[in-house]
Amino acid sequence: MKDRDINRYCLAESSTIQDCMELIGKTKKGIALIVDGDGRLIGTVTDGDIRRYVLTGRSINNLVSNVMWTSPITASTEASEKEILELIKKHFVRNIPILDNNGLPCSIVHLTDIVSEGNSCQCAVIMAGGEGRRLRPITEDIPKPMVKVGGEPVLESIINAVSRSGISDIYITLNYKADIIKDYFKDGSKQGVKIKYIREDKKLGTVGSLTLMPKIPTSPLLVINGDVITKINFQRLIDFHIQHRCMMTVAAIQYMLKVPFGVLDLSGHYLLGINEKLEQRFLCNAGIYMVEPDVLSLIPDGVRFDMTDLVTVLTRKGFPVTTFPVHEYWIDIGQMEDLKKAQKDFKDLNE
């Protein structure tokens, strides 16, 4: 079925990358069509294009022309579904803009409009075994993932987000106050998913518990820390991972560090200048990952093993690991000040 509400995908060539990010965030297909003053298609931008651009450190206030694909794959209104499917397979794209004889976009065909596509990620693991010592006294009675933000436990918001991405099989790793989580979610039927629990008899780190899964999945695995709140569309992460064909994808959040003093530029003991209020940009681990099934064989049994250890093993062995920059809302509630911020953020949204 062609999406004929084409205007919601179109953006003027004078728009910024920020404008493009907002448009793609509001639509489901992960693409924006860039048009000239006469409405003719001059380029396309995908969600992946923007995330790769963000990794370069350049400003999202630049014109969209800095990121758009100027030779997009298109089809005419006369093209058959078979011809469009051949284009999709040949060029490894998911969307084909349909143009009329004047080069004006009139619809978009997505891969799933033509064929039934099984979800390329069939299950997710949520790491929910942490004690949350930095959130005491709140976590003296409940485990950290059950702390409420926006009227529901953080863990429930994660489960709902995973479900919206089309994943129905969820494993939850447990340790501290495990029964509280099990009694609340049970088998997951209330949330419309199937939940199974992995009990850690001893703490195995942020990835060691994956060795306790009853069977190795046959498709990439979504792994999420149980103390993260985010508005990421996980399907975009899954698509990004599949497109880049890496063994692992690490979601990353941008963190800006402002130096409040003048920074001295030195050559030996000679002062060359003073730079006022410098900013440094860092990409930090967001606690969300895509992992290929073969990676699980690299995790040792029965010992503490963290994601940092796994990344080190993969990179040393020469396996490709990529980064998925997160520009959507994201916060880790591991510390009291961050929890208060998250609660305020959601309170402000509801007022």
Tens of pLDDT along 1-60?
455 588 889 999 999 999 999 999 888 788 999 999 999 999 999 999 999 998 888 889
Per-residue pLDDT at 114: 65
Please determine, for residue 139, whether its predicted confidence score (pLDDT) is greater than 80: yes
Quick one: DSSP state of residue 300? Answer: P
Q: Tell me the percentage of the chain whose pLDDT exceeds 70.
A: 95
Does pTM top 0.75 for this prediction?
A: yes
Question: Above 80 in pLDDT, residue 157?
Answer: yes
CB 52 within 8 A of CB 71: no
Contact present, 295 and 246 (Cβ < 8 Å): no
218: Cα within 13 Å, side-chain hemisphere: 2
More confident residue, 116 or 63: 63
Cβ neighbors of 108 (< 8 A, separation 6 or more) are: 2, 3, 6, 9, 29, 31, 33, 95, 96, 97, 98
State percent of the chain over pLDDT 90.
52
Q: Hey, what domains does the chain have and what are their CATH numbers?
A: 6-114 (3.10.580.10), 123-350 (3.90.550.10)
Pairwise CA distance, residues 89 & 154, whole Å: 39
Which H or E element spans position 12?
A: strand 10-12
HSE of 88 in the Cβ direction (CA atoms, 13 Å)? 21
φ, ψ for residue 226 (rounded to 5)?
-80, 5
Higher pLDDT, 350 or 339: 339
Q: 187 pLDDT exceeds 80?
A: yes
Evaluate if residue 84 carries a pLDDT over 90: no
Going by pLDDT thresholds of 50, 70 and 90, the confidence category of residue 112 is low
Residue 36 one-letter amino acid = D
Q: Where are the alpha helices (DSSP H) in 78-209?
A: 81-91, 111-114, 154-164, 178-185
With 0-12 / 13-18 / 19 or more C-beta atoms within 10 angstroms meaning exposed / middle / buried, residue 71 is exposed
Over residues 167-178, the mean pLDDT reads: 92
> Alpha helices, DSSP H only, in 27-110?
47-54, 81-91
In this predicted structure, the answer to whether residue 335 has a pLDDT above a threshold of 60 is yes
Among 107, 63, 102, 58, which residue's Cα sits nearest to residue 81? 107
Average pLDDT over residues 185-196: 93
How do beta strands 321-326 and 248-258 pair? parallel
